[in-house]
Amino acid sequence: MARSVVVIDNDDQVRQLVCAALEQDDFAAVGVASYPAAIEQLCWSPADLVISDGFTADGISGVSHLHRLFPRLRHVVLSGGMTQQLQVPFSGTRCVMVLPKPCDLEAIHQAVHQALTCETEACL
């Protein structure tokens, strides 16, 4: 069975590109435009990982809310902002890493595989 990933990004093109790249790598990818839509999706169909835009309208608070509801969920955040400053608000979540946008699909691919193969809290 394919590993599942929910991609959250309010930019349709980015969301579609990331989903298509994941599907080519044999992941089941579902794209949504907001954290509320992601929460609804995850209630109906749990996922192994979430990849999200850190600066949607509900970005940082969306990540926090998502992890209160799904505390074991692994997460990769894509951000067009300053990635160092974003690490702090995401500490305490299972955010694996923050990647700068625009990012290369190979970096996303590596982050996804790292997130899904890591077995210890230390690497999260």
Per-domain boundaries in the chain: 4-123
CB atoms within 10 A of CB 50: 27
Whether 76 contacts 9, CB under 8 Å: no
Mean pLDDT, range 63-87, rounded to an integer? 73
Q: Which residue has the tokens 């839509």?
A: 37
**Cα 6 to Cα 37: distance, rounded to the nearest angstrom:** 10
Lookup: tokens for 86: 């974003």
Q: What is the pLDDT of residue 124?
A: 44
- pLDDT of 82 over the 60 cut: no
Q: Which CATH class is domain 4-123?
A: alpha beta
**Cα 69 to Cα 56: distance, rounded to the nearest angstrom:** 19
Mean pLDDT, range 49-57, rounded to an integer? 78
- pLDDT of 91 over the 70 cut: no
In this prediction the pTM is 0.83
Burial class (CB in 10 A: 0-12, 13-18, 19+), 45: exposed
Length of the chain in terms of residues written: 124
